[in-house]
C-alpha cells in the first residue's frame, strides 16, 4: 500500500469520526489541487454518523487573486467532483476557505477556529456525538486496534461502544417468540411495539453508556433484527387481518426514539421499561414461556417465578434490590410482568469468582455413603457454612439424586440427609409379604414390573420434598446453585434426560437431553423418576413428558454431563473444583483359569453381576480424568470413594450401618479429605480489578482486591478471617506476604 493511500486511510477511517475540523495550509492552486486529489482517494463513507468540517488556510499565491476564498472553493470542489462525481459535502459537512497573510495575527486565526469549533461542538451535541474524554480515548483505541479492517468497513462508533456487550445473536428468535403469543395485528402495535421498544432501549442505554442519537442506535443495532422479526411475525395467521412488517418495525423505531426524550429528562433507563411493563400488566396472564425472558426479550430466562413467568439473571440484577453489604444477593418482590407478589431471592455469582461442581453417584442403599463422606469434608473445613454452599452446580444419579435434592432443594445438612436417607430406604425397601419364599420376588417382579410397590416410596418422597415444583426451589436460588438430575427413558434405545432447576441455554447437547419443558414437574416427581431402579421399582410416568426410570444403567456417574452443562453455560472456562463422591467401588477380580459353574455362574447371576457393575461410577471417572490428563486439565478434580469388596444388594437396608462404619475406618479416603477441604476454602475467594490494567513495557500492571464470596453479616466471616491468618496467597507459583 502506497504512503498516500495509507495516509488517506489514516485520515478518512481512523481519525474521521473523532476529528471536528480538518485544517490544511495551501500556498497556491497547485497545493489546493493536490489536497483535493488526495481527498478524492479517500474510501467512500456510505452515510457516516459524523462528517467533520474542512478549513483551508490560503496563503501566498492565493492572495494574488481577487476574491481568493471563492476562487479557491470553486477549484477545490470542482476537482473533487470531477474525480469522484461526488459533491464536497459527501466528505465534509461544511467548509471554510480563509485567506491569511504573513502579517495576519495568530489571534485572527484563533478567533476563526474558536468560532467554527463552537459551531461544530453544537452540531456534535445535537448529533449525539459529543463524547467525553474517557469515551473518546476508549473508542479511539478500539478503532486503532481494528485499523487493518478499516479500508473495507469504517468504524461504527455505536457498535464499537457495544464491543464488550454485543446485541444478543438470539434477539430475532426471542422477538418472534414473544410476538407469536399475540393474536391480533392491533395488539402488535398497541402492546408488542412498546414492549419491544422499551426492551431494546434498556438493552442499549446502560448506565454510563454514551447517549448516542436514538435513531442512529436503532439503525445500527436493531433495525435489521426488527425487520426480520416483524417479517416472520406478520406472516403468521392472526385474527382481524394482517399488518405490514414495515409498519410494525417503524412503530417500534418511533417508540424507541420517544423513550430517549424521557431519558434526557432524567428518567433512568431501567425505569422506562419497568413503567411500560406496568402499563400492560393486565396482558401477561396467559403469556408465559421458558424460552424467552419477556422482561427484556434478549435472554433465555433462568428462574421460574411463583406466578408462572420466567426471568433471566440479567433482569434480576437490573430490577432486583441488593444490600451494599451483600451486593450479589438480589431480591425481587413483584413480578415485572403481572405485578404478582413473588418474593424471589437469587444469589448471583460474582463475575470473576470461580465455580465448583459436585457429582454424587448412585447405588441404592449405598447412597448412605456420600452424606457420611461429605460430613468428613465439612468437619475438616470447620466453618459454619453448609457444605452445599461451596458448590454452584450439583448433579446426582439414583440414590445420589435424592441426596443432592435433599441438600440443594431442601437445604438439609449432610447429617440430616444421612438420617433421612436411612429412614427412606427402610420404607422404600420394606420387604413384601412373600420375601421368605425363595424365588418368589423374581416372579413378583416379572408379573408386577417391580419387586417393591411404588406407593411406599412415593408417600415418603412427597413427605420429604412436598409439592414444590423443581424449578421453584427457593433454597437453591438463594445460594445460587444449579441442580441437575438424570432419568432414563424406557424406549428403545433408552436415552438419558436431565431435569434441571435452571433453564438451560439453547445450545445443543450431545448424548443427553435437557428437559426444559418439565417446568411444572414437582421435586418429589423428579426424585421418583431418578430412583426408579430397574427391577426394584416401576418406571414413573410424567404427564406430557413420558415414562422414566433410574439412569444408573446408562451413567451412574454424571461427571461427563456435569462438565458438559458447565461448558454450555461458561464456554471454555474451567471449574475451580470438581468433587465426585462415590458409593463404593469393588476391586477388580483377578482372572481365574476355571470353567464357569452351572449354578453360581448361571446367566441370571451373570446378568445381576453385569447390572451391578454398571453402578461402578469409578469407570466414568477414570475415562474423564484420563482424557483430562492428556489435555492438561487434571487440576482441581477429586473423587472420594470407598473400596467395598462385597457390595450389598441395592435393597439391603440392613447393610447401611456397616457401610457407614467403613467410611470412618477408610484411611485412604480420610487422608484425601484435608486437601479437598483446603481447596474448597480457597474457592471462597476471588480477585476483582480495582483499575484497568496498565501497560508496563511488555507487561501489564494489574491492581485489584481479593474478595470473599461470603458477604455482609455472614456468621462464617470471623472464622474465615481466623483461618486466613494461617494461610498463604500464591501468585504465579510464588507465595506473597
Q: Which of 26, 269, 295, 398 is labelled catalytic?
A: 398
Please provide residue 546's backbone torsions phi and psi, each rounded to the nearest 5 degrees: 135, -160
How far apart (Å, rounded) are the C-alpha atoms in residues 196 and 292?
13
The answer to whether the beta carbons of residues 623 and 557 sit under 8 Å apart is no
What sign does the CA torsion over 657, 658, 660, 665 have?
Answer: positive
Nearest 5°: the CA angle 467, 421, 480 is 55
Q: Is 361 a catalytic residue?
A: no
Q: Which of 31, 550, 576, 666 is labelled catalytic?
A: 550
Q: Is 235 exposed, middle or buried (0-12, 13-18, 19+ CB in 10 A)?
A: exposed
How far apart (Å, rounded) are the C-alpha atoms in residues 678 and 730?
14
| 284 contacts: CB under 8 Å, gap ≥ 6 | 294, 309, 337, 338
Q: Is 308 exposed, middle or buried (0-12, 13-18, 19+ CB in 10 A)?
A: buried
How far apart (Å, rounded) are the C-alpha atoms in residues 236 and 350?
42
| 505 contacts: CB under 8 Å, gap ≥ 6 | 300, 568, 569
Q: How far does CA 598 lie from the centroid of its chain?
A: 57
How far apart (Å, rounded) are the C-alpha atoms in residues 443 and 449?
10
How far apart (Å, rounded) are the C-alpha atoms in residues 501 and 515?
10
What separation in angstroms does the CA of 383 have from each of 201, 663, 712? 45, 21, 16
Q: How far does CA 180 lie from the centroid of its chain?
A: 25
What kind and span of H or E run contains 333? strand 326-334
What sign does the CA torsion over 683, 689, 695, 697 have?
Answer: negative
Terminal-to-terminal C-alpha distance of the chain: 54
Using CA atoms of 660, 662, 665, 670 in order, give the dihedral in degrees to the nearest 10: -80
Q: Is 398 a catalytic residue?
A: yes
Instruction: Identify whether 493 is preceded by a cis peptide bond (ω within 30 of 0).
Output: yes
The answer to whether the beta carbons of residues 636 and 679 sit under 8 Å apart is yes
How far apart (Å, rounded) are the C-alpha atoms in residues 8 and 12?
6
665 forms bridges with which residues in the sheet? none
What separation in angstroms does the CA of 315 have from each of 291, 297, 324, 348? 15, 10, 18, 12
Active site residues: 398, 550
Amino acid at each position: 500500500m502506497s504512503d498516500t493511500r495509507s495516509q488517506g486511510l489514516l485520515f478518512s477511517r481512523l481519525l474521521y469520526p473523532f476529528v471536528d475540523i480538518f485544517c490544511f495550509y495551501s500556498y497556491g492552486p497547485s497545493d489546493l489541487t493536490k489536497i483535493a486529489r488526495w481527498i478524492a482517494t479517500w474510501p467512500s463513507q456510505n452515510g457516516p454518523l459524523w462528517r467533520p468540517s474542512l478549513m483551508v488556510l490560503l496563503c501566498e499565491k492565493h492572495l494574488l487573486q481577487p476574491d481568493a476564498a471563492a476562487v479557491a472553493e470553486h477549484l477545490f470542489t470542482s476537482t473533487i467532483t470531477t474525480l469522484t462525481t461526488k459533491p464536497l459535502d459527501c466528505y465534509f459537512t461544511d467548509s471554510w476557505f480563509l485567506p491569511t497573510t504573513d502579517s495576519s495575527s495568530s489571534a485572527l486565526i484563533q478567533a476563526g477556529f474558536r468560532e467554527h469549533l463552537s459551531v461544530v461542538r453544537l452540531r456534535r451535541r445535537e448529533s449525539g456525538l459529543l463524547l467525553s474524554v474517557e469515551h473518546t480515548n476508549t473508542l479511539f483505541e478500539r478503532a486503532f486496534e481494528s485499523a487493518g479492517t478499516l479500508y473495507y468497513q469504517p468504524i461504527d462508533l455505536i457498535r464499537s461502544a457495544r464491543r464488550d456487550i454485543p446485541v444478543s445473536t438470539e434477539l430475532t428468535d426471542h422477538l418472534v417468540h414473544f410476538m407469536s403469543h399475540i393474536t391480533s395485528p392491533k395488539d402488535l402495535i398497541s402492546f408488542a411495539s412498546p414492549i419491544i421498544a422499551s426492551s431494546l432501549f434498556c438493552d442499549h442505554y446502560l448506565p454510563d453508556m454514551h447517549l448516542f442519537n436514538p435513531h442512529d442506535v436503532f439503525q445500527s443495532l436493531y433495525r435489521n433484527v426488527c425487520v426480520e422479526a416483524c417479517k416472520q411475525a406478520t406472516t403468521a395467521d392472526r385474527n382481524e387481518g394482517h399488518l405490514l412488517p414495515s409498519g410494525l418495525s417503524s412503530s417500534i423505531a418511533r417508540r424507541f426514539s420517544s423513550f430517549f426524550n424521557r431519558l434526557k429528562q432524567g428518567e433512568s433507563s431501567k425505569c422506562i421499561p419497568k413503567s411500560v411493563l406496568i402499563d400492560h400488566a393486565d396482558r401477561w396472564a396467559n403469556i408465559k414461556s421458558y424460552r424467552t425472558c419477556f422482561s427484556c426479550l434478549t435472554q433465555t430466562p433462568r428462574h421460574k417465578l411463583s406466578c408462572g413467568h420466567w426471568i433471566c439473571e440479567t433482569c434480576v440484577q437490573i430490577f432486583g434490590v441488593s444490600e451494599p453489604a451483600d451486593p450479589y444477593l438480589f431480591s425481587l418482590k413483584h413480578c415485572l410482568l403481572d405485578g404478582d407478589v413473588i418474593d424471589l431471592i437469587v444469589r448471583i455469582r460474582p463475575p470473576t469468582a470461580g465455580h465448583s461442581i459436585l457429582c454424587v453417584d448412585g447405588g441404592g442403599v449405598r447412597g448412605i455413603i456420600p452424606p457420611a463422606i461429605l460430613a468428613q469434608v465439612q468437619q475438616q473445613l470447620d466453618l459454619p457454612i453448609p457444605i452445599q454452599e461451596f458448590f454452584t452446580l450439583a448433579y446426582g444419579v439414583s440414590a445420589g439424586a435424592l441426596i443432592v435434592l435433599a441438600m440443594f432443594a431442601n437445604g438439609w445438612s449432610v447429617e440430616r440427609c444421612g438420617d433421612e436417607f436411612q429412614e427412606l430406604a427402610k420404607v422404600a425397601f420394606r420387604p413384601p409379604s412373600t420375601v421368605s419364599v425363595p424365588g418368589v420376588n423374581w416372579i413378583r417382579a416379572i408379573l408386577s414390573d417391580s419387586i417393591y410397590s411404588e406407593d411406599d416410596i412415593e408417600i415418603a418422597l412427597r413427605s420429604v420434598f412436598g409439592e414444590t415444583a423443581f424449578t421453584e426451589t427457593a433454597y437453591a436460588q438463594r445460594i445460587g446453585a444449579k441442580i441437575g438430575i438424570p432419568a432414563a427413558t424406557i424406549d428403545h434405545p433408552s436415552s438419558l434426560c436431565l431435569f434441571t432447576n435452571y433453564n438451560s441455554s439453547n445450545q445443543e447437547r450431545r448424548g443427553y437431553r435437557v428437559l426444559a419443558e418439565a417446568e411444572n414437574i414437582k421435586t418429589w416427581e423428579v426424585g421418583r423418576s431418578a430412583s426408579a431402579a430397574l427391577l426394584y421399582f416401576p418406571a414413573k410416568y410424567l404427564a406430557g413428558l413420558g415414562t422414566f426410570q433410574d439412569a444408573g444403567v446408562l451413567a451412574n456417574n454424571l461427571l461427563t454431563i456435569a462438565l458438559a452443562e458447565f461448558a454450555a453455560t461458561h464456554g471454555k472456562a474451567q471449574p475451580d473444583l470438581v468433587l465426585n463422591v462415590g458409593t463404593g467401588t469393588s476391586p477388580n477380580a483377578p482372572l481365574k483359569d476355571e470353567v464357569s459353574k452351572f449354578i453360581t455362574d448361571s446367566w441370571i447371576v451373570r446378568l445381576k453381576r453385569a447390572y451391578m457393575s454398571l453402578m461402578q461410577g469409578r469407570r466414568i471417572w477414570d475415562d474423564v480424568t484420563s482424557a483430562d490428563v492428556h489435555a492438561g486439565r487434571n487440576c482441581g478434580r477429586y473423587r472420594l470413594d470407598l473400596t467395598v469388596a462385597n457390595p450389598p444388594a441395592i435393597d439391603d437396608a440392613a447393610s447401611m450401618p456397616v457401610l457407614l462404619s467403613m467410611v470412618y475406618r477408610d484411611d485412604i479416603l480420610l487422608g484425601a479429605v484435608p486437601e479437598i477441604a483446603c481447596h474448597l476454602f480457597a474457592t471462597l475467594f476471588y480477585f476483582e480489578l480495582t483499575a484497568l490494567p496498565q501497560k508496563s513495557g511488555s507487561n501489564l500492571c494489574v491492581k485489584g482486591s481479593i474478595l470473599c464470596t461470603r458477604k455482609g453479616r455472614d456468621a462464617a466471616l470471623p472464622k474465615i478471617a481466623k483461618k486466613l491468618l494461617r494461610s498463604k496467597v500464591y501468585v504465579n507459583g510464588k507465595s506473597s506476604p
